[in-house]
């Protein structure tokens, strides 16, 4: 049980990649705090999906783009769980459009959740990890943060920003036993990508050397490694989980 007596906070842990990460960590003993923004039933469903692992699981309604709300929830988790060992910044949204049609709201919303949300969560756990002289921070970037993608200027910028933030905070916290890494998934089958048309899906699949769409579990396995003590000497790294798409 690699994560016995460890507490992991997972933003966007109610479904998709975040829920797969929650399951993977809980299956190895981690207590889990899930942050979500949608319907309460989603949070409850996630809690039920994790019940079989018999670890402590709580879900918190929290819009990670809200600086004060995310601080309140981080403080609450520290109080209710007795501390935090692992932070997984996974919450993310898309508002895909060509810049021609992208308005200010589309840009601000995506940067607000994906990039500022990641900053907010790191900011509010930073001192806690420093004092503890231990911590694992893993954020979900994307291959489009490395390659760019037409129609995703806002999203790609947010995901590229996560890479810069990851490397900067890794340098700040490396001497304190805190590692800070990112994963860059390619095309993973979740609600986010199910919303794409079949034509777009087929075109994307054709570009993947592994010839299959990734699963949330493919990403969760790599995140779990980065959260483990096996990865103690890995920091400031971005690991692509993309079946070779962006090599």
User: Which tokens belong to 154?
Assistant: 């806002």
Work out which of 92, 135, 161, 243 binds ligand NDP, going by CB under 6 A: 92
Write phi, then psi, for 30 (nearest 5 degrees). Answer: -75, 145
Compare residues 63 and 108 and give the one whose CB is closer to ligand NDP.
63
Residues within window 33-52 making contact with ligand NDP, judged by CB under 6 A: 35-38, 42
155 counts as catalytic:
yes
Write the burial class of residue 247 (CB in 10 Å: 0-12 exposed, 13-18 middle, 19+ buried).
exposed
**Cα separation of 179 and 170, whole Å?**
6
Contact between 14 and ligand NDP per CB under 6 A? yes
In whole angstroms, give the CA distance from residue 228 to residue 57.
19
Whole-number minimum distance, CB 177 to ligand NDP, in Å? 26
Closer residue to ligand NDP (CB): 82 or 148 = 148
Asked if 11 interacts with ligand NDP (CB under 6 A), we say yes
Q: Which residues contact 172 (CB under 8 A, 6 or more apart)?
A: none
Strands, sheet with 31-36, edge to edge from the N-terminal-most edge strand: 57-61, 31-36, 7-11, 86-89, 135-140, 178-185, 238-241
Options 11-19, 48-56, 120-128, 174-182: segment touching ligand NDP (CB under 6 A): 11-19
* Contact call for residues 146 and 166 (beta carbons, < 8 A): no
* Residues of span 206-245 touching ligand NDP by CB under 6 A: none
Which residue out of 36, 60, 126, 155 is catalytically annotated?
A: 155
Binding flags for ligand NDP, 112-151, as an x/- string (CB under 6 A): -x---x----------------------x-x---------
Q: Does 190 bind ligand NDP (CB under 6 A)?
A: yes
Rounded-to-integer distance, Cα 32 and Cα 206, Å: 36
* Closest to ligand NDP by CB, 63 or 172: 63
**Integer Cα distance of 214 and 108 in angstroms:** 28
- 60 binding ligand NDP? (CB under 6 A): no
Applying CB under 6 A, the residues found at the interface with ligand NDP are: 11-12, 14-18, 35-38, 42, 62-65, 90-93, 113, 117, 140, 142, 185, 187-188, 190-193
Which residues are annotated as catalytic? 155
């Amino acid at each position: 049980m690699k994560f016995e007596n460890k507490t992991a906070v997972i933003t966007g842990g109610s479904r998709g990649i975040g829920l797969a990460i929650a399951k993977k960590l809980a299956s190895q003993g981690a207590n889990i705090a899930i942050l979500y923004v949608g319907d309460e039933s989603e949070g409850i469903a996630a809690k039920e999906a994790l019940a079989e692992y018999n670890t402590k699981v709580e879900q918190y309604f929290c819009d990670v783009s809200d600086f004060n709300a995310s601080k309140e929830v981080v403080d609450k988790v520290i109080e209710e769980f007795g501390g935090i060992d692992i932070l997984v910044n996974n919450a993310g949204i898309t508002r895909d459009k060509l810049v021609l049609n992208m308005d200010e709201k589309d840009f601000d919303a995506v940067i607000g959740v994906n990039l500022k949300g990641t900053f907010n969560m790191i900011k509010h756990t930073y001192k806690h990890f420093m004092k503890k002289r231990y911590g694992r921070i893993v954020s979900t970037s994307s291959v489009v943060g490395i390659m760019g993608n037409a129609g995703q200027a806002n999203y790609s910028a947010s995901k590229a920003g996560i890479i810069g933030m990851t490397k900067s905070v890794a340098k700040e916290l490396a001497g304190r036993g805190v590692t800070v890494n990112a994963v860059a998934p390619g095309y993973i089958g979740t609600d986010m990508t199910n919303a794409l048309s079949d034509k777009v899906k087929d075109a994307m699949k054709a570009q993947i050397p592994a010839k299959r769409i990734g699963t949330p579990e493919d990403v969760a396995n790599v995140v779990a490694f980065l959260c483990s003590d096996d990865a103690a000497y890995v920091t400031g790294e971005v690991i692509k989980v993309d079946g070779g798409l962006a090599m």
